[in-house]
Amino acid sequence: MELFEYKAHELKGMLGKGEVSAKDVAESFLGRIGAVDESVGAFLAVDRESALAGAKRYDDGEKDGLLAGIPVGIKDNISVKGMQNTCASKILEGYIAPYDATVTEKIKRQGGVIVGKLNMDEFAMGSSTEHSAYKLTRNPFGLDRVPGGSSGGSAASVAAMEVPVSLGTDTGGSVRQPAAYCGIAGLKPTYGSISRYGVTAFGSTLDQVGTLGRDVKDLALITSAITGKDDRDFTTHSRDLGDLYANLSKDIRGKRIALPDEFLGEGLNEDARKSIEESVKVFEALGAKVERVSLKMADFSLAAYYIISSAEASSNLARFDGIRYGFRAKEALDLIDLYKESRSQGFGPEVKRRIMLGTYVLSAGYYDAYYKKALKVRKLIQDEYNSIFSNFDAMISPTTPTPAFRLGDKTEDVMAMYLNDIYTVPVNIAGIPAVSIPCGLSEGMPLGLQIMGAHFSEQTILDIAYAYESERGLDLRPSL
């Protein structure tokens, strides 16, 4: 096998035994990027020199760290000092990050080798990565299909074996949905378990850095490297998740798992339904007990999400005004015209749609009717999840209602695009952790199983995912 075909934890073992050099590993993945990324389009920027320099540090003796010598890809809304941070938007074209995000610092401290920046939906607003201002990313399992979004580049790069692991962000499913579409594993941790310092904000009470890898062990490895409290992000929690990688266990005997009726209703692809039913049998064979439950507030999650996230986006994106950095419109008549033209020309249609929606729901006369009401609904959703997790160790559902759709199929139908997130959005509303792992195929495209847990139960849901993955033995690989 080529080195790029190995998973991160396998490479970690080989590097630790001295069987390969970090330079050989880095060059193998850089070669893979050169061979396939013209077709896949996962990367917006590749920093070959930086990657080889990081590998050289390992080979020269800096061998400590969970990710020592392992290549990592970073979504292009997470700051890496000296690399671009465009958020896939024209309004930030040419912007170079002057500092590292906390997660970037931690990856470097743990010996990770950062390869480059990955494509995404502009400002993380989208579910297909078709809203990038720069390029189209394709699903490695079907180049006529979307990779999901907004972390489409992060998922596609791992599925195409261009990097073994990557970072994305998840505001309403933007790690789990593309992980499901691309046949890999993706984790959205508990809100507050990973610092967002240096991550461009979309919806501040929903955003969370997430991790992607080809299997659960890789997720546990990279997640353990970046979690923890950060004084620069007051939303981070002091609770320690522990070493998720070292503590992984396949023993889930006696675990109680909930399956919501509402997540198996109308709109669910028949193959996805069968995959969930088969997954229930796998869990029961492993000694877990699966019971049906009702999530009465589930139908309100999507509406609450788009009101809250758009309101927060309209506030967060006000800083992009054409004055301090990024794109500036030419020949503006005055300051107000400069603001208007810079934002009109610099932002794409989906970003402008959400800014306008957010501004509307925050405006006088509508704040109480929409935004305030959405916050109340959010509390009810959180209470319902907390109630279920007082009796169950985890909850399962499909990650998405269907496999990846074809490029261009939903670009004109906004509501159809938004409905792709119907099973993932409630997790962000509740602030709980969730992981997506492959569970089958439909039309030759991967399907995902979502496993959710109570706040800070990452070890539990990863153990359940690890047990399932070990039993099923799914290791999906695209034929690029």
State both tokens at 371: 């935004």
- Residue 12: pLDDT over 90: yes
- Residue 324: pLDDT over 90: no
* Span 235-245, average pLDDT: 95
Per-residue model confidence as pLDDT tens digits over 422-441: 999 999 999 999 999 999 99
State both tokens at 280: 């229930």
* Span 447-471, average pLDDT: 98
Q: Is 174 a catalytic residue?
A: yes
Please report where in the chains the tokens 């949905």 appear, as a residue.
177
> Cα–Cα distance between 430 and 140 in angstroms, integer?
32
- Residue 452: pLDDT over 90: yes
Beta strand 445-452 with 256-260 is unpaired
Evaluate whether 461 touches 395 at the Cβ level (below 8 Å).
no
Evaluate whether 59 touches 22 at the Cβ level (below 8 Å).
yes
> Cα–Cα distance between 91 and 248 in angstroms, integer?
43
Fill in the DSSP letter of residue 142: B
Closest to 22 in 3D by CA, of 66, 51, 49, 59: 59
* pLDDT value, residue 283: 98
* pLDDT value, residue 480: 87
81 burial via Cβ count (<10 Å: 0-12, 13-18, 19+): middle
- Residue 251: pLDDT over 90: yes
- Residue 412: pLDDT over 90: no
Choose, from 7, 75, 108, 117, the residue flagged as catalytic.
75
Residue 423: CATH number of its domain: 3.90.1300.10
* pLDDT value, residue 326: 86
DSSP letters, 51-83, are: HHHHHHHHHTT---STTTT-EEEEETTB--TTS
**Confidence band (pLDDT; 50, 70, 90) for 447?**
very high
Closest to 211 in 3D by CA, of 258, 246, 244: 244
Our measurement of the distance from residue 317's CA atom to the centroid of its chain's CA atoms, rounded to an integer in Å, reads 20
Choose, from 28, 132, 174, 314, the residue flagged as catalytic.
174
**Confidence band (pLDDT; 50, 70, 90) for 214?**
very high
Our measurement of the distance from residue 16's CA atom to the centroid of its chain's CA atoms, rounded to an integer in Å, reads 29
- Residue 417: pLDDT over 90: no
Q: Structurally, how many domains does the chain consist of?
A: 1
Q: Residue 418 to residues 121, 150, 265, 288, 478: CA-CA distances in angstroms?
A: 13, 12, 17, 33, 27
> Cα–Cα distance between 123 and 121 in angstroms, integer?
6
* pLDDT value, residue 373: 97
Evaluate whether 248 touches 463 at the Cβ level (below 8 Å).
yes
* pLDDT value, residue 391: 98
Choose, from 150, 154, 279, 397, the residue flagged as catalytic.
150
**Confidence band (pLDDT; 50, 70, 90) for 419?**
confident
Measure CA of the first residue to CA of the last residue in the chain; give whole Å.
Answer: 15
> Cα–Cα distance between 87 and 122 in angstroms, integer?
6
Closest to 389 in 3D by CA, of 450, 301, 437, 457: 457
Full residue range of the structural domain in which residue 182 is found: 1-479
* pLDDT value, residue 298: 87
Share of the chain above pLDDT 90, in %: 94
The predicted model scores a pTM of 0.97
Residue 95's CB: how many other CB atoms inside 10 A? 16
Q: Residue 435 is which amino acid?
A: V
Evaluate whether 32 touches 4 at the Cβ level (below 8 Å).
yes
Closest to 226 in 3D by CA, of 67, 106, 81, 117: 106
Share of the chain above pLDDT 70, in %: 100
- Residue 268: pLDDT over 90: yes
Per-residue model confidence as pLDDT tens digits over 84-108: 999 999 999 999 999 999 999 999 9
Evaluate whether 148 touches 422 at the Cβ level (below 8 Å).
no
State both tokens at 153: 């580049």
Q: Is 373 a catalytic residue?
A: no
Please report where in the chains the tokens 């990313």 appear, as a residue.
137
Evaluate whether 453 touches 432 at the Cβ level (below 8 Å).
yes
Per-residue model confidence as pLDDT tens digits over 172-210: 999 999 999 999 999 999 999 999 999 999 999 999 999
390 burial via Cβ count (<10 Å: 0-12, 13-18, 19+): exposed
> Cα–Cα distance between 192 and 204 in angstroms, integer?
11
Q: Residue 185 is which amino acid?
A: A
Question: CA neighbours within 13 Å on the CB side: how many for 66?
Answer: 20
Give kind and range of the element (H or E) at residue 312.
Answer: helix 301-316
Closest to 435 in 3D by CA, of 263, 70, 188: 188
- Residue 30: pLDDT over 90: yes
117 burial via Cβ count (<10 Å: 0-12, 13-18, 19+): buried
